[in-house]
């Protein structure tokens, strides 16, 4: 049984779908508050991140990864922040009232587009450094994906040069900062003049607008002998062209889901990977974040009632992250 007083509310407001499909499926509903198992915590949600992958999940794209049949009403939202309201009997790291953030992809008990969420305690962390509650709420999925790429897949070393393509997006702008904390020199390809300005502010050593033709020249000026590695958070012709600036024996990584899949101009070590959440990598992310000033850029914030507009905003030019303000 869970420690602390059980939540008084038996139901909660949530954005839930009754079947997979378009954004018209997203509806505010009253759904049951999930029960808390011994190794879980109940979080009173403050902010939920709206991930680039959320529309794909809404359409049923991840259904093959769900154990058994998907449960409807189905609550989206794989990242969020809030306050601990209840802890399971085996949980020692948290207490009621702690401010936390969490990552919980394809959670069978529902996601963070809701007033409350139940999450495995190992996927929950106290908010690191100087991050606000709202920043922490949109942070985890992209931070874990960025570090999985830079550290676990590329095995980026201090002093190496790395191309981050899509550097002004959710994963990209966080990856720029993580790579700098790891001691790398970063060439950031961003979207638009505002994206270039953002990555400069975040510490990129050199930057270029991915919409311009001069990306390769800028990359070769930055690393005349070729870049050591590349993290692609977006695909397409511009991304493929940028790979010409990577050494023939360089390493390339991209998260599964990047479409179209990158096609390097010559044979090189290219790997797709997943941003799986685990306690160990969450702790690594926190350590890097706490090493100095860190920015999680939120482009726009919507309420639960504006969730359709939030999903539409993902398809528009934006920098960083989209947030849902819940609490």
Q: What is the pLDDT of residues 186-229, one digit of tens each?
A: 999 999 999 999 999 999 999 999 988 899 999 999 999 999 99
Element (H, E) at 129: none
Averaged over 178-193, what is the pLDDT? 98
pLDDT above 70: residue 3: no
Give pLDDT, residue 9: 61
Determine whether 154 is exposed, middle or buried from the number of CB atoms within 10 Å of its CB (0-12, 13-18, 19+): buried
**Could you tell me what percent of the chain has a pLDDT over 70?**
97
Confidence (pLDDT) at 7: 44
Which domains does the chain carry? Answer: 2-139+296-325 (3.90.180.10), 141-273 (3.40.50.720)
The band of 4, judged by pLDDT with boundaries at 50, 70 and 90, is very low
Kindly write down the DSSP assignment for every residue of 200-245, as one continuous string: HHTT-SEEEETTSTTHHHHHHHH-TT-EEEEEESS-SHHHHHHGGG
Distance from C-alpha of 205 to C-alpha of 183, rounded to nearest angstrom: 11
- The span from the CA of 123 to the CA of 110, in Å, is 14
> What percent of the chain shows pLDDT beyond 90?
91
Contacts of 89 (CB under 8 A, 6+ apart): 1, 2, 3, 38
Beta strand pairing call for 246-255 and 27-32 = unpaired
Strands 321-325 and 298-303: parallel
**Mean pLDDT for all residues in the chain:** 95
Give residue-wise pLDDT tens across range 98-124: 999 999 999 999 999 999 999 999 999
Cβ proximity of 294 and 177 under 8 Å: yes
Measured CA to CA, the distance from residue 152 to residue 273 in angstroms comes to 9
pLDDT at 323 over 80: yes
State the angle between helix axes of 279-289 and 140-147 in degrees (0 to 180), rounded to the nearest 10.
Answer: 90
Give 57-100 pLDDT, tens digit per residue. Answer: 999 999 888 877 889 999 999 999 999 999 999 999 999 999 99
Which pLDDT score, from 0 to 100, does residue 280 have?
97
Tell me if 226 sits within 8 A of 246, measured CB to CB: yes
Tell me the average pLDDT across 161-184. 98
Strand, helix or coil for residue 252: strand
Tell me which of 203 and 265 has the higher pLDDT. 203
| Per-residue tokens: 153 | 């897949």
Rounded Cα distance between 83 and 98, Å, is 6
User: Average pLDDT in the 136-156 region?
Assistant: 98
Q: In the 8-state DSSP scheme, what is residue 101?
A: E
pLDDT score for 68:
79
Q: Is the pTM of this model over 0.85?
A: yes
Instruction: Please report which confidence band the pLDDT of residue 5 belongs to, taking 50, 70 and 90 as the band edges.
Output: very low
pLDDT tens-digit series, residues 271-308: 999 999 999 999 999 999 999 999 999 999 999 999 99
Burial status of residue 76 (CB atoms within 10 A of its CB: 0-12, 13-18, 19 or more): buried
């Amino acid at each position: 049984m869970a420690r602390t007083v059980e939540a008084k509310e038996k139901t909660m407001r949530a954005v839930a779908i009754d079947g997979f499909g378009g954004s018209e499926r997203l509806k505010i509903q009253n759904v049951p508050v999930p029960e808390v198992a011994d190794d879980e915590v109940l979080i009173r949600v403050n902010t939920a991140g709206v991930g680039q992958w959320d529309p794909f999940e809404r359409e049923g794209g991840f259904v093959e990864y769900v154990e058994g049949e998907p449960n409807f009403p189905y609550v989206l939202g794989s990242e969020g922040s809030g306050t601990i309201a209840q802890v399971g009997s085996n949980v020692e790291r948290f207490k009621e009232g702690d401010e936390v953030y969490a990552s919980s992809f394809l959670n069978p008990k529902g996601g963070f587009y809701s007033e409350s969420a139940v999450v495995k305690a190992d996927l929950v962390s106290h908010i690191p450094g100087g991050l606000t509650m709202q920043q922490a709420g949109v942070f985890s999925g992209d931070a874990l994906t960025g570090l999985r790429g830079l550290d676990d897949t590329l095995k980026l070393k201090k002093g190496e040069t790395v191309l981050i393509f899509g550097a002004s997006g959710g994963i990209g702008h966080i990856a720029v900062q993580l790579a700098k904390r790891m001691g790398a020199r970063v060439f950031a390809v961003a979207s638009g003049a505002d994206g270039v300005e953002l990555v400069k502010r975040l510490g990129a050593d050199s930057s270029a607008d991915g919409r311009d033709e001069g990306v390769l020249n800028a990359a070769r000026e930055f690393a005349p002998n070729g870049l050591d590695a590349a993290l692609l958070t977006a695909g397409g012709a511009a991304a493929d062209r940028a790979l010409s600036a990577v050494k023939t024996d360089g390493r390339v990584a991209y998260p599964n889901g990047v479409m179209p899949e990158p096609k390097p101009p010559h044979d090189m070590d290219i790997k797709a990977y997943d941003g799986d959440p685990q306690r160990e990598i969450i702790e690594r992310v926190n350590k890097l974040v706490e090493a100095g000033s860190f920015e999680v850029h939120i482009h726009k914030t919507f309420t639960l009632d504006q969730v359709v507009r939030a999903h539409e905003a993902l398809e528009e030019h934006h920098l960083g992250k989209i947030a849902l303000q819940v609490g």
